[in-house]
């Protein structure tokens, strides 16, 4: 039994580690020619960090604003001393200069109508590969010219961490094995008149089959000497990008495809020891029951009696001690109106 426990634990550990998406250059770096259109939504809290999160964003509200980002190779104007670059991102009046390599993505500078900035020490925006628990910090520095008259000196740190993974529930789909990447850019801008400190925190949610983040949440705080801090919160979704189910992930999980059905079910952890949690999300009101069966298919216990549940996220828990469950294989049968979902669970 001890040997079986260790083997099961090993398999479960591997599944936990490899079921999550890993950010790689091949699958997630900018591609010249891509056009991304994001839809702005009202700001929402990014949720908690850690493993096995369930981010329920079904109540997000769309604004009428959209933003288009075009990725190309040729800028409209070459910045002096910009150095090597091979990609340009044109977005919201900015042209960002990037150098994309096998190991990292560097931001070399940018230009707008009024400002041109060149980093003397570029910002490392991403290091490949990046998976849950990975973190790095990069120091950056640069100089900008405002309206060809004022020089601005800039420096700071940029930190990236893959701080969470879980299930992302949006109004029209459920995405599993989503990796959340948090980036934080701290900087100080200095000119002859004043200095400004800035802090930009960005949460990007990456889902299997999508090259670019499907959800982005930003908070920007700026503090100029002698003035009150200014905080700006924004959020947007990028769901018009191409979905490619054949994009390889560390684990070939058939449930990574978006689930647009009436209901989605999640059980965790699995295998479990004493307690197993289950969540189901209803897209409309339904009659629900949950039953437990043993490995032979023999009825064991009704966990939820048949009753009507409203749309939204519902949670429950199975306690092995209360049910006197012995180690082995069981099945949870979820019935939603006429739809049946069966989840295989393992008690260790």
Q: What mean pLDDT comes out for the span 46-64? A: 89
Which residues are paired to 302 by β-bridges?
A: 291
Neighbouring C-alpha atoms within 13 Å toward the C-beta of 161: 11
Q: Which residues of 152-178 are buried (b: 16+ CB within 10 A; e: fewer)?
A: bebbbebebbbbbbbbbbbeebbbbbb
Residue 4 lies in a domain: no
Residue 202 lies in a domain: yes
- End-to-end CA, the chain: 9
Residue 143 lies in a domain: yes
**Pair 268, 227 in one domain:** no
- pLDDT at residue 137 in the model: 98
Percent of the chain at pLDDT exceeding 70 = 89
Percent of the chain at pLDDT exceeding 90 = 49
Residue-wise pLDDT for 336-348, tens only, equals 887 888 888 888 8
Residue 248 lies in a domain: no
- pLDDT at residue 194 in the model: 84
Between 25 and 255, the more confident residue is 25
**Pair 64, 174 in one domain:** yes
Domains of the chain: total: 2
Q: What mean pLDDT comes out for the span 314-336? A: 88
Mean pLDDT score of the chain, rounded to an integer? 85
Q: What mean pLDDT comes out for the span 1-12? A: 37
Residue 113 lies in a domain: yes
**Pair 275, 171 in one domain:** no
**Pair 197, 304 in one domain:** no
**Pair 206, 338 in one domain:** no
Query: What does the DSSP 8-state code read for residue 1?
Result: -
Rounded CA Rg of the chain: 24
| Closest CA relative to residue 111, chosen from 148, 139, 136, 140 | 148
**Pair 265, 208 in one domain:** no
What range defines the domain where residue 314 resides?
261-347
Return the sign of the alpha-carbon dihedral for residues 51, 27, 234, 263.
Answer: negative
Return the sign of the alpha-carbon dihedral for residues 261, 265, 266, 271.
Answer: negative
**Pair 115, 195 in one domain:** yes
- 19 pLDDT tier (thresholds 50, 70, 90): low
> Are 238 and 206 within 8 A, CB to CB?
no
**Pair 137, 193 in one domain:** yes
Last residue of a domain, one of 204, 222, 237: 237
**Pair 276, 229 in one domain:** no
């Amino acid at each position: 039994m001890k040997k079986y426990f260790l083997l099961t634990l090993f398999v479960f550990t591997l599944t936990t580690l490899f079921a999550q998406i890993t950010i790689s250059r091949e699958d997630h770096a900018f591609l010249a020619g891509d056009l991304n259109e994001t839809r702005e939504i009202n700001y929402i809290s990014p949720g908690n960090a850690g493993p096995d999160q369930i981010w329920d964003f079904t109540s997000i509200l769309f604004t009428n604003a959209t933003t288009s980002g075009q990725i190309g190779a040729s800028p409209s104007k070459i910045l002096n001393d910009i150095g090597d670059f091979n990609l340009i991102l044109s977005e919201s009046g900015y042209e960002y200069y990037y150098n994309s390599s096998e190991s990292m993505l560097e931001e070399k500078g940018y230009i707008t109508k009024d400002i041109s900035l060149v980093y003397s020490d570029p910002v490392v925006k991403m290091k490949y590969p990046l998976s849950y628990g990975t973190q790095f910090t990069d120091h950056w520095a640069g100089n900008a010219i405002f309206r060809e008259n004022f020089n601005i000196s800039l420096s700071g740190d940029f930190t990236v961490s893959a701080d969470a993974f879980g299930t992302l529930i949006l109004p029209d789909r459920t995405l599993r094995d989503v990796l959340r990447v948090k980036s934080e850019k701290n900087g100080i801008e200095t000119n002859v008149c004043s200095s400004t400190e800035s802090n930009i925190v960005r949460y990007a949610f990456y889902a299997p089959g999508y090259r670019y983040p499907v959800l982005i949440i930003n908070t920007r705080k700026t503090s100029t000497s002698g003035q009150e801090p200014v905080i700006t919160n924004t959020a947007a979704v990028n769901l018009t990008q191409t979905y490619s189910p054949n994009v390889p992930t560390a684990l070939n999980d058939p449930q990574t495809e978006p689930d647009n059905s009436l209901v989605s079910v999640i059980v965790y952890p699995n295998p479990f020891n004493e307690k197993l949690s289950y969540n189901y999300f209803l897209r409309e009101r339904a009659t629900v029951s949950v039953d437990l069966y043993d490995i032979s298919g023999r009825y064991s216990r009704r966990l939820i009696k048949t009753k009507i549940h409203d749309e939204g996220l519902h949670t429950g828990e199975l306690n092995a001690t209360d049910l006197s469950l012995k180690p082995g294989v069981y099945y949870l049968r979820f019935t939603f109106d006429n739809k049946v979902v069966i989840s295989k669970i393992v008690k260790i």
